[in-house]
Chains A and B, each alone.
Chain A
Amino acid sequence: MAAVLESLLREEVSVAAAVRWIARSAQSSEDDPGEAAALRSLRPLRKEFVPFLLNFLREQSSRVLPQGPPTPAKAPGSSAALPGRPGGPSRGGRGARSQLFPPAEPSSAAAAEAPPARRGGRRRGPGPGRERGGRGPGGLEEGVGGESPPWAAGRRRRSSGSPGSPGRARSDPPNLSNLEEFPPVGSLPPGPAGTKPSRRINPTPVSEERSLSKPKTCFTSPPISCVPSSQPSVPDTSPWGHGLPPGCRSLQEEREMLRKERSKHLQQSPTPACPTSESGSPLPSRTGNLTAEAADPARVSSRQRLELIALIYSSCIAENLVPNLFLELFFILQLLTARRMVAAKDSDLEPTPGAPDSLESPLFQSVHDCVFFAVQVLEHQFDKGTLKLLAENERLLCFSPALQGRLKAAYEGSVAKVSLAMPPSAQAVSFQPETDNRANFSSDRAFHTFKKQRDVFFEVLREWEDRHEEPGWDFEKGLGSRIRAMMGQLSAACSHSHFVRLFQKQLLQMCQSPGGTGGTVLGEAPDVLNMLGADKLGRLRRLQERLVAPQSSGGPCPPPTFPGCQGFFRDFILSASSFQFNQHLMDSLSLKIRELNSLALPQPEPSDEDGESDVDWQGERRQFAVVLLSLRLLAKFLGFVAFLPYRGPEPPPTRELQDSILALRSQVPPALDVRALLQQGLRARRAVLTVPWLVEFLSLADHIVPLLDYYRSIFVVLLHLHRSLVLSKESEGEMCFLNKLLLLAVLGWLFQIPTVPEDLFFLEEGQLDAFEVDTVPSEHGLDGMPVVDQHLLYTCCPYIGELRKLLASWVSGSSGRSGGFVRKITPTTTTTGLGAQPPHTTQGLQAQLAQAFFHNQPPSLRRTVEFVAERIGSNCVKHIKATLVADLVHQAESLLREQLVMQGQDGGDPAQLLEILCSQLCPHGAQALTRGREFCQKKSPGAVRALLPEETPAAVLSSAENIAVGLATEKACAWLSANITALIRREVKAAVSRTLRAQGPEPAARGERRGCSRACEHHAPLPSHLISEIKDVLSLAVGPRDPEEGISLDHLEQLLGQLGQTLQCRQFLCPPAEQHLAKCSVDLASLLVADQIPVLGPPAPRGLERGQARRLLHLLLSLWKDGFQVPVPLQLLLSPRNVGLLADTRPREWDLLLFLLRELVEKGLMGRPEIEACLGSLRDAQWPKDFSEELATLFNLFLAEPPMPEPQLRACELVQTNRGTVLAQS
């Protein structure tokens, strides 16, 4: 491999040819025959070249960037010894840091187990012979062998170290990729170990959020200062040897060849370039020196060599031959912003005179070299996302004024600012009667159970929100049992689907917000003032933290995480551990993904005025962003749930086990046919929508998934896509720049996911070439439209922000200026014609004509018409419901009432009644279609007219109106003809049960109730007050009472007057209150009749005078007659208890009772027969003998009364005057 580089350096092969050679398997005619010959011999090494180059650069830079944030790399060589060697890390020291570099294993062990069975032998070298050679004897070889294993072991930690032990993982204190914790500002004293070359691959920084992903994944390399000083320093004779994994036979062979070369050089050169020596020697102290070394173009060593390597490196980047574009950019920016060189000896800083072009000497010998290289690459590789910061970097000016000029121009030219204004998400899922009311549940029980579930779910969510940041709080411990209890109640399948809908909606509402973290949840207002006002210190502190420490996305290549609220939903799924729930959730997520993925997103329309199209684009881009973010979220959760049963901390330990798992898994159909969706997406040129969510889905796959044929084919497609997204190509029909960048970023990220095999990216070409995307070039899909903007890019790939952070830290570190700020970039707008529309459902010639009509109209016209048709059609159904169906329901009610009158109150069997009614009414449903047509005819044109621009030609307008009418009618009639009978039936059924229920206890309470007069100002006393007052009177009358207690007559009269007012006003009167008032008034009357009301007055409380009592009774009688609208229980006046009150009085006052009875009859409040019946039943009660006799007398007296009012009154007077005697006489 190095030979390729060497030949490049010796200019035997041109860079262009080399890149062609790398990129394509076939030889190109452009190639010079000499070059071709030189390369042909190296052909088997071709696919190893890029990983080699990347590792080589990392390796080299580790000498220069000891303190800087490490650049991750994921090259296939590193995985060579992955499986089959568990327990590696345990051999390391206990301390977390020492584990980063566990002691070396003997190379023989490595070699013995090395054949990397994992990927089906693809990593194996060409033949055993080569392997032999690679491991050939020799002192140097031992050195190399001794060197590699520690690296390999360190690498292996990723796959086997601390499996599934987040607790331990958390104890790894430094987040190595966190620039806040390990700022590249100033050089830390590296210590003796600082001389040790950095390991490229290292443990993932672990934060709590990542407990899902393997905590040990090695994406980054540590700052050199982390390496314990006790680390044995193995002499390193090869500057790039670290990049060569023990399992990589071909590389080892290569290495040996080089070694021979080198020894030749060594013999020639009097000054040995000794990278070996640096490892052992302590560094010159650099403590305290926080300023960056000034980079000087004049001091660059071996310019030519750097230029060449920069060129080939940037060519690889440009051709997407590197797995992750942004990682490489990050690396370049690290070089650019390198502060100090951790160089060894002064002599190292000088170019090796003997071998200027060889790879023998360190590539980067000084900061100057680094900066030179970085600028060289940047000149080729333009990062548009960080223009300003780059432009502000004075090193650029120094090394390439021209590049800086271009950057400045690009920066100043970028004005577009598209923000992603999302609807506020701080809400719960709202209750929608159409989907949530009783009719949607199988039983009352299911309905009420779900009612409770909803509340429990939000209760749990609120508690999580309050407490998940508390130290020591644990989701499972805090909420697990409650969640499971709740899931346990969701017995019916229908309830599960309801709950899943709620869950999914809430997920989308809470987690869809930009950044995906949903910083404000559940009504927590984002208003800073509110937060401060809430006198919550904790909240203030959190706010402060948020301001001080910008959220780090965890390095340029973080593993998949569930940030913010997503964590709740993940933990909920885990804690619920419900098979049914997961299945329903997968079904629902899949459906929603399909739905959103196939959503017809707006097409751009060619517009004369830019302003207008801009306005349109704002909305359309926003819609795209919302759909894309939703899809990503849903797909992530689908991936999470779908692969949950298979997820484990590490790949299967042995090949046999793996094979048997593969055999099993390959039979399981995928939860969602993502391959088909991907292919559709590519074909329809909607990759920009499909691929990002697919990546989210795949990022949560388990270790086996990429090995399954089904998913493997998906990865192949993705790889091909990645390779094809060359940023520099911008031609007609190409994908837009930012669309490409988004895909490159997400794909690059995916290729770095721990579960994705490292070597997958460097597939043999054969597999890649076999794939051809079958796109229809004439069709313009979403890919060709500038749907992605900078904001969306950063929202989807927050890790890109790491680049910015790196630069920002440079800016703040070097010049003290405020950190840079990346502006939005003008998206490249392509003017494209009207895209082909997905075929509409309508068939026939008319439909074709309509299609043709739209073809030459702006797309907004079509959208408008479709929108109007959709809405009017829907409204039409509602209109029919409110008019025709409502009328039929009224008819049903009156028919039912007739029926009830005819059949008596029972009315017969309700089911039978319903059948009778439906058979009479349902035929009327046929009118619905006619009426529906009328409605659409009437309503659609106006709506279309209102929504289309005024200059729309009349003919176009009327066609549009007609089409809208047609579509709306079609929609409405289709629904109505299918459902009208069922609808009528349902509504009539509801009406029947309503009517039958109303038939119950209090028909008088409803019906025609008089309201208060229009002039009424509702100043009458409140019913509650009156009940309370009357109750007090009753309690006083009944006793016990203090001797001085009593009621004034005025008060009593006033009370009855107030009662009259209240009964007139009725504003605040409800039936129960009126009923109680009625009953209380009867009780009061009884007490009056029995002379039981203690009236205040000089000298002491006493009974009422008869005249006063009568006056009060008269008041009550008129209230009963005219005031009350509820039935007054007057028969209680003759209840044994109330009549019995008289028994206690001495002498007994029968005359008031007689008076009352007569008045009742006279006013028509009670009929004589009714009273007679009451009196009759009174006789049955047990009374004292004398009382029974008096009662009988009263009865006779009442019966004897002639039904003539006037004389009765007089007779009553008579009775009153001769009290007692009258009764005795009769």
Chain B
Amino acid sequence: MILTKAQYDEIAQCLVSVPPTRQSLRKLKQTFPSQSQATLLSIFSQEYQKHIKRTHAKHHTSEAIETYYQRYLNGVGRNGSAPVLLELANEIATEVDYAPSLMARIILERFLQDHEETPPSKSVINSMLRDPSQIPDGVLANQVYQCIVNDCCYGPLVDCIKHAIGHEHEVLLRDLLLEKNLSFLDEDQLRAKGYDKTPDFILQVPVAVEGHIIHWIESKASFGDECSHHAYLHDQFWSYWNRFGPGLVIYWYGFIQELDCNRERGILLKACFPTDIVTLCHSIA
């Protein structure tokens, strides 16, 4: 699913101030029936993350935290089984509009500050978010759990889904490489050898795709938008180029067409496994 910048912008336009709930996703699918669900979800997720990054700081001032905590306490004081925390996070009218899982984290941290002697460590918080049963307050545990299962952009479950998607596509890619009889070193093998930067696969014998030499392949189970692509270029793709030469990136959920502009310099983008692979002929007949 390769979109032009204009097409992408049209979709992104519809995602402004939409809470990350399953209901929102359902509506989005109805609005853009021609796009694949996975692509839409990926775009939505990335756009929402951008929004969160922009507003992250304002939710973490001590005043904001205090306000949220008081509102939470008031809310559960009135009715502990009402979705207090979730609604607090998704409140757009009062300009809260923050990811439920992240809001849950804020409140949990604040709560633990009140109830524990030492400030909670990050790993304790993470562990409680993964398994809210560990939260000493039953009401809060339920509230947190509700936030996490209702958040489709953040939280341990979403992280796990993303990780799983990434892994699945790597497996898929590995199978395709095996099927094509292309020998490769995978990330684990590379790491064992002490490589400092490791693409998903390094081809032991380079191939050509659409006339471009490919030494390595990176699988990205997401949509390649400008923001993420530039981050990837800086942190990964150029680093791979710097070590292994030109390579191929597969954005399984598509990318913005205009981003595929570094082909000449050694970074080729595709939205699927390439079909026309030219391999080195060993025998000179």
Contact = CB atoms under 8 A, between A and B. Distances in A.
Interface of A: 427-428, 430-431, 433, 436-439, 447-448, 450-451, 454-455, 457-459, 462, 522-525, 527, 530-531, 534, 1018, 1022-1024, 1027-1028, 1031-1032, 1034-1035, 1038-1040, 1042, 1067-1068, 1070, 1072-1073, 1076, 1079-1080, 1129, 1132, 1135-1138, 1140, 1144, 1181-1182
B86 A1040 contact: yes
11 contacts: A431-B196, A436-B196, A455-B238, A458-B238, A459-B234, A1024-B165, A1034-B149, A1039-B83, A1068-B167, A1070-B163, A1072-B160
A673 to B, nearest CB: 35
A235 to B, nearest CB: 64
B141 A1027 contact: no
Contact of B242 (A458, A1022, A1039): A458
Interface string B112-156: 000000000000000000111101001001100110011000001
Contact of B160 (A524, A534, A1039, A1073): A1073
Contacts of A525: 264
B226 interface: no
B239 interface: yes
Nearest to B41: A1028
Contacts of A1023: 164, 168
B264 A428 contact: no
A433 B194 contact: yes
Contacts of A428: 241-243, 245
Contacts of A534: 263-264
B282 interface: no
Interface in B81-99: 81, 83, 86-87
B167 A455 contact: no
A1132 B131 contact: yes
A431 B171 contact: no
Contacts of A1067: 171
Contact of A437 (B157, B193, B211): B193
A663 to B, nearest CB: 47
Contacts of A1132: 131, 133
Contacts of B168: 1022-1024, 1068
Give the 7 A-B residue pairs with the shortest CB-CB distance, closest first.
A437-B194, A1135-B133, A431-B243, A1024-B164, A523-B266, A1073-B164, A1035-B149
B157 A1076 contact: yes
Contacts, number: 143
Contacts of A450: 196
Contacts of B171: 1067-1068
Contact of A1022 (B146, B164, B193): B164
Given A428-B243, A436-B195, A1070-B164, 12 more contacts: A428-B241, A430-B245, A439-B194, A455-B239, A534-B263, A1027-B164, A1039-B83, A1079-B130, A1132-B133, A1137-B135, A1137-B142, A1140-B142
Given A439-B194, A1129-B131, A1039 B146 contact: yes
A431 B265 contact: no
Given A1129-B131, A1137-B141, A1027 B157 contact: yes
Contacts of A1027: 157, 160-161, 164
Nearest to B141: A1137
Contacts of A462: 238, 265
Given A433-B193, A458-B241, A1138-B133, A1035 B164 contact: no
A1137 B167 contact: no
B104 to A, nearest CB: 13
Contacts of B234: 459
Nearest to A1182: B138
B206 to A, nearest CB: 11
B22 interface: yes
A780 to B, nearest CB: 36
A424 to B, nearest CB: 9
B273 interface: no
B198 to A, nearest CB: 10
Interface of B: 22-23, 81, 83, 86-87, 130-133, 135, 138, 141-142, 145-146, 149-150, 156-157, 160-165, 167-168, 171-172, 175, 193-197, 211, 234, 238-239, 241-246, 263-266
B146 A1038 contact: yes
A437 B195 contact: yes
A971 B171 CA distance: 43
Contacts of B157: 1027, 1031, 1076, 1080
Contacts of B162: 1024
Contact of B194 (A438, A1028, A1079, A1181): A438
B211 A454 contact: no
Contacts of A1032: 22
Given A430-B243, A534-B264, A1022-B168, A1076 B145 contact: no
A1073 B141 contact: no
A1088 to B, nearest CB: 15
Contacts of A1136: 133, 138
B209 to A, nearest CB: 14
Contacts of B194: 433, 436-439
Contact of A523 (B83, B150, B165, B264): B264
Contacts of B239: 451, 454-455
A1032 to B, nearest CB: 6
Contacts of B87: 1040
A1079 B194 CA distance: 35
B197 A1070 contact: no
Given A458-B241, A1129-B131, A1076 B149 contact: no
B196 A447 contact: yes
Q: Which of B146, B244, B265 has the most CB of A within 10 A?
A: B265
A1005 to B, nearest CB: 14
A790 B167 CA distance: 56
A1135 B87 CA distance: 26
B138 A530 contact: no
B164 A1144 contact: no
Nearest to A520: B264
Contacts of A1073: 160, 163-164, 167
A1137 B136 CA distance: 9
A1031 B265 contact: no
A1140 B136 CA distance: 13
A1023 B83 CA distance: 29
A1137 B83 CA distance: 16
A454 B211 CA distance: 28
A451 B161 contact: no
Given A451-B197, A1068-B167, A1072-B163, A1038 B131 contact: no
Contacts of B149: 1031, 1034-1035, 1038
B239 to A, nearest CB: 5
Nearest to B144: A1137
B242 to A, nearest CB: 4
B164 A523 contact: no
A1042 B26 CA distance: 13
Contact of B264 (A433, A451, A530): A530
B196 A437 contact: yes
A526 B211 CA distance: 12
A150 B194 CA distance: 68
B139 to A, nearest CB: 9
Contacts of B243: 428, 430-431, 454
A1080 B148 CA distance: 12
Given A431-B195, A1072-B163, A1038 B145 contact: yes
Nearest to A1038: B146
Contact of A451 (B132, B196, B241, B266): B196
Contacts of B146: 1035, 1038-1039
A1034 B22 CA distance: 12
A427 B245 contact: yes
Contact of A1072 (B131, B164, B211): B164
Contacts of B161: 1024, 1027-1028, 1031
Contacts of B175: 1018
Q: Which of A455, A1039, A1079 has the most CB of B within 10 A?
A: A455
